[in-house]
Amino acid sequence: MDEHQMDALQRRLCDDQADVVFYPVRHHSPASADLLSQLIEELKPGAVLIEGPSDFNDSINELSLEHELPIAIYSYFQLVENQSQTATHHGVYYPFCEYSPEWVAIQAARSCGAAVRFIDLPWAESFEHERTTHRYADAELRRGRYVQALCERLQVEDFDDLWDRLIESQLGLSRRDYLHRVHSLCLNIRVWEQPISLSDRQREAFMAAEIRASQARFEGPLVVVTGGFHSGALAARLSGLDCPGSTDDAQENGARRIAQRGIALTTYSYQRLDNLTGYDAGMPSPGFYEYAWRQRRDRRTFDHQPLLSRLVDALRGRKQTLSTADLIAVETSAQAIAALRGRPHVWRRDLLDAVTSCLIKDELEYGCASPFIDAVHEVLRGERRGRLAQGTRLPPLVRDIQDQLETFGLRPDQRGRQIELDLTDPEGRKQSRLLHRLRILEIRGFSRRGGTDFSQRDNLDRLWELWQLRWSPEFEASCIEASRYGTRLSTAAAACLTQQAAQTERDATAAAELLILAAQAGVETLSQSLLESLERLIHSEPRFVGATSCLEHLLFLYCFDEALGTQRLEALRTLVRETFSRSLALCESHGRPVSDPRSLLRGMRTMRETFRRLPDVLDWTAEEIGDVIRRVQSDAHKPPLLRGAAAGMLWSLGQATTESVLEDLLFFSDPEQLGDFLAGLFAVAREQVQRQPELLRAIDQLLLDYAADDFQAALPSLRLAFTSFTPREKHHMLSTLFQSLQPHLKPSAALATADAETVQEAVAIEERLFEAVKRYGLERQR
């Protein structure tokens, strides 16, 4: 495309008196919205064509009900692979807020009697090549070298600032200038960012065809409201000009078919709008732009001070000290920063920077949230939540819940009832999953009264659950409330769990509990983002015991579970692997004493067990684990219990010989330490200990060398160490010991039954006896 062609296209685009006026918007931009409503009022077009889902055109009147914004159109469908018959669910939002150009266009069109039509390709037909879940995102505009170069030239940080600088904070910007700037910006982005994606081309072809059809259908001029990125291509297609990506190529239709399609209004919130990042990111800080929009509508010059005072209230509400002097400093800085950036008034980023600069007296860690900045963002975000007008069709989630309750015969009634589910029965499992999902979403009227406890796992003989179902007046309200998490029960439950995971910090045990919750609600709720946040939790767990208890849960779910369907589940492999690595790392760095030393042993046993059961899942070989554990074992700062367990682990993994274990034993011959060391060793290498009589002999030898006091000192911890064996095991060990010491004696004779106290008494008497002998000089001369 040469310069000449570009000029021609640009001229066509900026012509606001043509039959078809192409109005470029940035979605959710108040400046776009304001100038657009002026254009529609002046032009009185026959129809306003908007980039929106054309499959919603039949219900477009629903938009004129008395909704409270923000709301969104949600388009969803189920995709079935022809070959495997597996179904996946997909959905996308088209959010509207009060200052969205699309919304304002609908209002303006209605007040001047123009028709309104959505002209975009239904999402189900173009989604294959897309990654967004939010149709009014700025992905096309944000990326790319052109924007980067322009930011550098204009000395701004990113696309948001660039837009504010060029359009949003220019309050006196005329429509002519607006059209000129936005068209030229978007056209250049398009030219620089070739090739244009297939989905964009498909959509533009569809939109162009819709515009042509509307030209025939409606009298008078048309206003085409689309994202600026598409305007150029549409104009080129309609007036035979040249523009990158304005040709089509043959469409292929894959081996999949679309089943169950739907589109409906649902509630939305500023919080969701602002939290979107990456491909889904749009204009940030909706609260700020809503404020700017209102000021603009009232034709007032922009005044940031009410915002600043709202900010001060929010911060003081959070018990932050904020003196008048501080406020003066913020105000001065904001003005100065705005001046440095060449702006006549303080704008979003200036306010943020002034607060950061003047009020924060601490280090801001990179990439970490600061509560202070969070509060500022919260004020700029606003807390508006949408509400659908009476008479709107119910959001898809509500219908999904009702359908599923109907299918499984679980609809609650006013009298209430209890049902018992058998989790080994597939039907019972399905019902249980449904109920668990409702419980996660806090839908009123369903409570779990009893059943198998999968996080304690003390009794897995019987897999069952008892639920109480009773209709409550808040049932429907809570369903609508839950719509914000999604439109299908499974995805909504997954989103809710993901949010819970995101609100937890550094706690692997909590991650494991969430995982069990998700497993109970069915493996479909184990979404990728949930797994990622769980992984993050596990990674930040600081305690060895926490990490290994999580590993224990995972081992159960991955190896032994029979009811939840998580056995050998592909998605869990990464978690198992990561938790194991984390446990190993924490084992090496473990230093603090723990309140319950037994939990250390339990952790070590879990680790050994995981390796033994799942060597194919872990990315560690026995030698590599041996290297790490050997370092633990030889670290003099570690407690003897852990070192004993480490020795046991090496032994049972075949990474240490019996001789070396015997040598280690000598290290711990101190009566203070022997018991602890043995407790660790026995707990982890239980079988090896029984198979090797040498070890018992060596222990016996050590004990014989002890003076009586030493023996008494060592006794309690020794006794504790041996409690990990069953009586039968103890009997077996002792008889082998006797056999090897005194082969001529019958074991049963040697094992006279006597309780511990009698033995202790005997030892004491013996001790006194020998002392008396010594005192009288009667001991035998050697």
Query: Which residues sit at the interface with other proteins, rule CB under 8 A?
Result: 152-153, 155-157, 325-326, 329, 332-333, 336-337, 340-341, 349, 353-354, 356-358, 360-367, 535-536, 539-540, 578, 581, 584-585, 588-589, 591, 619, 624, 627-628, 631
Nearer to other proteins, 360 or 741 (CB): 360
Q: What's the rounded Cα separation, in Å, for the pair 70 and 67?
A: 8
Q: How far is the CB of 688 from other proteins (least distance, A)?
A: 26
Q: How far is the CB of 156 from other proteins (least distance, A)?
A: 7
- 420 forms bridges with which residues in the sheet? 466
Nearer to other proteins, 636 or 756 (CB): 636
Q: What's the rounded Cα separation, in Å, for the pair 72 and 355?
A: 33
Nearer to other proteins, 455 or 529 (CB): 529
SS3 track for 195-238: CCCHHHHHHHHHHHHHHHHHHHHCCCCEEEEEEHHHHHHHHHHH
Q: How far is the CB of 165 from other proteins (least distance, A)?
A: 12
SS3 track for 674-721: HHHHHHHHHHHCHHHHHHCHHHHHHHHHHHHHCCHHHHHHHHHHHHHH
Nearer to other proteins, 607 or 714 (CB): 607
552 phi and psi, to 5 degrees? -60, -45
Nearer to other proteins, 524 or 535 (CB): 535
Q: How far is the CB of 144 from other proteins (least distance, A)?
A: 17
Q: How far is the CB of 582 from other proteins (least distance, A)?
A: 9
Nearer to other proteins, 235 or 337 (CB): 337
Nearer to other proteins, 153 or 728 (CB): 153
Nearer to other proteins, 351 or 423 (CB): 351
Q: What's the rounded Cα separation, in Å, for the pair 485 and 530?
A: 13
- The crossing angle, in degrees rounded to 10, of helices 286-297 and 305-317 is 150
Q: How far is the CB of 466 from other proteins (least distance, A)?
A: 40
Q: What's the rounded Cα separation, in Å, for the pair 263 and 200?
A: 21
Calculate ∠ Cα 536-538-542, nearest 5°.
Answer: 115
Specify the length of the chain in residues: 782
SS3 category, 87 = strand
Q: How far is the CB of 185 from other proteins (least distance, A)?
A: 19
Q: How far apart are the first and last CA of the chain?
A: 111
Q: What's the rounded Cα separation, in Å, for the pair 271 and 95?
A: 12
Q: Which two tokens stand for residue 47?
A: 């129809």
For the chain, what percentages of helix, strand and coil (3-state, to nearest 5) are there? 60, 10, 30
Nearer to other proteins, 361 or 415 (CB): 361
Q: What's the rounded Cα separation, in Å, for the pair 287 and 463?
A: 50
Q: How far is the CB of 722 from other proteins (least distance, A)?
A: 33
Nearer to other proteins, 62 or 535 (CB): 535
Are the beta carbons of 162 and 169 closer than 8 angstroms?
A: no
CA pseudo-torsion sign 162, 165, 166, 169: positive
Q: How far is the CB of 745 from other proteins (least distance, A)?
A: 50
Closest C-alpha to 73, from 89, 57, 84? 57
Burial of 766 per CB tally in 10 Å (0-12, 13-18, 19+): exposed
Q: How far is the CB of 542 from other proteins (least distance, A)?
A: 10
Q: How far is the CB of 364 from other proteins (least distance, A)?
A: 4
Nearer to other proteins, 315 or 696 (CB): 315
Q: How far is the CB of 592 from other proteins (least distance, A)?
A: 12
Are the beta carbons of 188 and 13 closer than 8 angstroms?
A: no
Write the single-letter amino acid at 567.
Q
Nearer to other proteins, 485 or 580 (CB): 580
Are the beta carbons of 322 and 59 closer than 8 angstroms?
A: no
